[in-house]
Amino acid sequence: MIRVSSIALSLIAMMLVACRAAPPPPTRAELLEKLHQCQVELTHKRPTDRSMSSCVKLDPSPLNGISRNELAAALGPPTFCVGLSEGGPPRGSDCPPELNPRWSFHLIGSGGPELFCATDEKQRCENLRWIDFE
């Protein structure tokens, strides 16, 4: 009987630990700051696999709908601009309106993660996601 009770208590304890509330997601400002810190860490220093993976684990989707200007203010000018048939570096602080911006999170000349903004007609990032650039 004692054994059954201790098993039941152990199961209840495991369920309580599993059901514990997860920490709240970061605010928009916190997420922008974390992305900025990762970008600095990965583009100016020799990144480790650990630092690269922790940055890519950041989910940028809560920033969907952010203006390109606001994103550029946090991360700096995009690294590259891409469209259906053209691409190139930005001229100034943003890409031309018809092109989608990408921000590198790796040393230039090496492959790695990039943050891609699929832009809508209002110049907002309709969909912000990680892509792997080789």
Mean pLDDT, rounded, of the chain:
83
Listed residue (133, 102, 106) closest to 52, CA to CA: 106
Range with lowest mean pLDDT among 4-18, 60-74, 112-126:
4-18
Instruction: Output 113 or 101, whichever has higher pLDDT.
Output: 101
CA distances from 122 to 4, 84, 88, 118 (A): 63, 18, 21, 11
Question: Given the structure tokens 């230039």, which residue do they identify?
Answer: 108
Least confident piece of the model among 42-56, 59-73, 81-95: 42-56
- Locate all alpha helices (DSSP H) within 1-111, ordered by sequence: 2-18, 28-44, 49-56, 68-75
For residue 78, the one-letter residue type is P
Q: What average pLDDT score do residues 85-93 get?
A: 91
pLDDT band at 128 (very low <50, low <70, confident <90, very high): very high
Confidence at residue 69, expressed as pLDDT on a 0 to 100 scale? 95
